[in-house]
Amino acid sequence: MPRVVISGYYGFHNCGDEAILFAMLQALRDLIPGLEAIVLSKEPGYTAREFGVRSIPRDSPRQALQALQSADMLISGGGGLLQDVTSYRSLVYYLGVVSMARLLGKPVFFYAQGIGPVNTCTGRALVRLVANTVHTISVRDRESKNELAAMGVNRPEIHVTADPVLGLSPSSIDREKGREILCSLGIGEGPVAAISVRPWKRLEGYKNVVAKVADDLIAGGWQVLLVPVHYPGDNVTCREVAALMCRKPFLLDSDVKYSDLLSLSANLDLAIGMRLHFLIFCVIFGVPVIGIPYDPKVNSFLQSMKLPPGLSVENLDYHQLSLKVRQTLANREKVCASLKERMACLRQEALRNAALAAEILKCR
């Protein structure tokens, strides 16, 4: 029975990362019969129950070592693990797990990672040192491949694929569950626009801009829902935006599971978001999206979908965002058709990650 250890940002109740794990496991299990996965998690009990895996504390070196000793491979990913913007310690942690596996002679697969930004000289040197020892690397966008090359990573072949969540089939998501969530909030018939915001660098200006655009949508007959993706930080920011509005929006003010957010996304008509995976959830169902990037990964994704760049959160302008909303709605049919065409291609690229993992295990 093949056994893999999976290291990522799991067990923190971030809907995007939990959806990554869900999509990874689904794709891997489809290709690798009898696969046993051991997931390093902040909350092992939750991860074990939710995903049907064995899970161990991510901060226990002893248990991680024991798991790796009995494993056939370490999967590092997916998501934006290798960066030092939010935390240098985080970068060291993920590279440390990889180094532990390599010291044990285990193959390591970087699974659909989004690389960077890595700004410190020490961080870039560590990535180069460790990444050059792994078996296979797949990244979710071309910018990540270029960043690895710029850091001097040249030994393993680097495959440009797509985010694992893009491999999910819309038919596998329960749309009715999302409809029930909307109804429970009081949202009825008519167009629904969802807005995802998050705290970022103590900035305040973008909240006023988003609030004003949300008011415009409501005045135009839209029902506006503020959606947190990571509990509890995003909930606070959503409430702050709601307080700045003149009209009353709907607020998903709770710890929402990734599966609920996926289901809800299937029932939307427009999405405006800072969080990458909120935008990914929506394009899976052909929902027109407008990005407000706080990180290069958001624009990289928009580019992969052949969508125009988003508007930076750091200098978000009301007139520009309002114009982008009007343009998107005026070209809605064309945008939806383009999203459907791109999704057909990117879904195959996302599933190729699992095929690469299966090939490594086959060689073992």
Tell me the per-residue pLDDT of 291-343, one tens digit each, with 9 for 90 and over. 999 999 999 999 999 999 999 999 999 999 999 999 999 999 999 999 999 99
pLDDT at site 110: 98
pLDDT at site 253: 85
Q: What is the pLDDT of residues 3-62, one digit of tens each?
A: 999 999 999 999 999 999 999 999 999 999 999 999 999 999 999 999 999 999 999 999
Coil, strand, or helix at residue 225? strand
Nearest CA to 242 out of 225, 230, 223 is that of 225
Residue 219, Cβ density class (10 Å: 0-12 exposed, 13-18 middle, ≥19 buried): exposed
pLDDT at site 21: 98
Domains of the chain and any CATH numbers: 3-160 (3.40.50.2000), 170-345 (3.40.50.2000)
The dihedral sign for the CA sequence 303, 308, 309, 311: negative
Residue 87 binned pLDDT confidence (cut-offs 50, 70, 90): confident
pLDDT at site 1: 87
**Does the pLDDT at position 364 exceed 80?**
no
Residue 32, Cβ neighbours under 10 Å: how many? Answer: 18
pLDDT at site 254: 79
User: What dihedral angle (degrees, nearest 10) is formed by the CA atoms of 209, 253, 224, 315?
Assistant: 20
**Does the pLDDT at position 68 exceed 80?**
yes
Residue 145 binned pLDDT confidence (cut-offs 50, 70, 90): very high
Q: Give counts: helices (H), strands (E), the chain.
A: 14, 12
What's the whole-number average pLDDT of the chain? 96
pLDDT at site 255: 78
Rounded to two decimals, what is the model's pTM? 0.95
DSSP classification of residue 286: T
Distance CA 121, CA 116 (A): 13
Kind and range of the H or E run holding 4:
strand 3-7
Q: Is the peptide bond before 188 cis (omega within 30 degrees of 0)?
A: no
Q: What is the pLDDT of residues 265-293, one digit of tens each?
A: 999 999 999 999 999 999 999 999 999 99
Q: What is the pLDDT of residues 193-207, one digit of tens each?
A: 999 999 999 999 999
Q: How many residues does the chain have?
A: 364
